[in-house]
Amino acid sequence: MQRCSLGPGTRVVEVGPGTGQATGRLLALGAKVTAVELDERLAERLLSKHDRARLSVAVSSFEDADLPAASFDLVAAATSFHWVDPGVGLVRAADLLAPGGWLALWWNVFGDKSRPDPFGEALLPFIEACPDLAGDPSGAGAIPSGSHPYSLDVEARIAEIDATGRFGPVHHEMIRWTGRHTPAQLRALFASYSPWLALPDAVRIEMLATVESLARDTFAGRVERPYVTPIYLAGRR
């Protein structure tokens, strides 16, 4: 926030805001936000949830959004930029930024293989027994040994930004934190994961019930999980 000079009056393009969790924080800090959201239903939800005086929503992909060049102080993407073609999206971000503007990309990764994760280990056998999830390690909401999610591939993410020639040095940081959940909260979190949303209805209901009962019965209704947020910041040249 301090490095990017985020505060009252900052002109922000937010890429893929989804349900608007980051949007709310940006607005609370005084920013004027233009959210680019591909899903029309989510766009409507954003507008109904937040103050329209400082929020506008463009229903479009980021690559095709009709936005004025060199008119923004910050291009931000919270757990969304992996849906954007980096060869196009990063150049587009640079085009939208005014001199002195910043690019800020971050992801919340629901797992951290550098720390113990008892709940992830207890859930993994159920994941492996589910044919629709077994082939996707991220379906467990954990980081199994050997996997390397997109956002954690630091060298590749920095190389993509550097390759544009449009940004200065990339500042990277890993913020490690602990999520604390009730069984109902954990069920709602897993229900938001893309691999779980893609499950057949009956399978998804059964698996979500497993998550909730495991948290309630084996973990006494309180689950702590290790999470990590990788952040990439770069100033426009």
Mark out the alpha helices in the chain (DSSP H runs): 21-28, 40-49, 86-96, 118-128, 131-134, 154-163, 183-191, 194-197, 201-217
Q: Under a CB-based contact definition with an 8 Å cutoff, are residues 48 and 19 in contact?
A: no
Buried (b) or exposed (e) across 48-77, using 16+ Cβ within 10 A? Answer: eebeeebbebbeebbeebebeeeebbbbbb
Whether pTM > 0.85 for this model: the answer is: yes
pLDDT 10s digit of each residue in the chain, 237 long?
Answer: 567 888 999 999 999 999 899 999 999 999 999 999 999 999 999 999 987 889 999 999 999 999 999 999 999 999 999 999 999 999 999 999 999 999 999 999 888 989 999 999 999 999 989 988 865 544 455 444 445 578 999 999 999 999 999 999 999 999 999 999 999 999 999 998 878 988 999 999 999 999 999 999 999 999 999 999 999 999 999
Reference 174, options 153, 156, 143, 145; nearest CA is: 153
Euclidean distance between CA atoms 63 and 138, whole angstroms: 26
Kind of pairing between the strands at 72-78 and 11-15: parallel
Cα dihedral 194, 198, 203, 207 in deg (nearest 10) = 0
The residue ranges of every structural domain in the chain are 11-106, 118-147+180-226
Half-sphere exposure of 33 (CA within 13 A, CB side): 31
Q: What's domain 11-106's superfamily in CATH?
A: Vaccinia Virus protein VP39 (3.40.50.150)
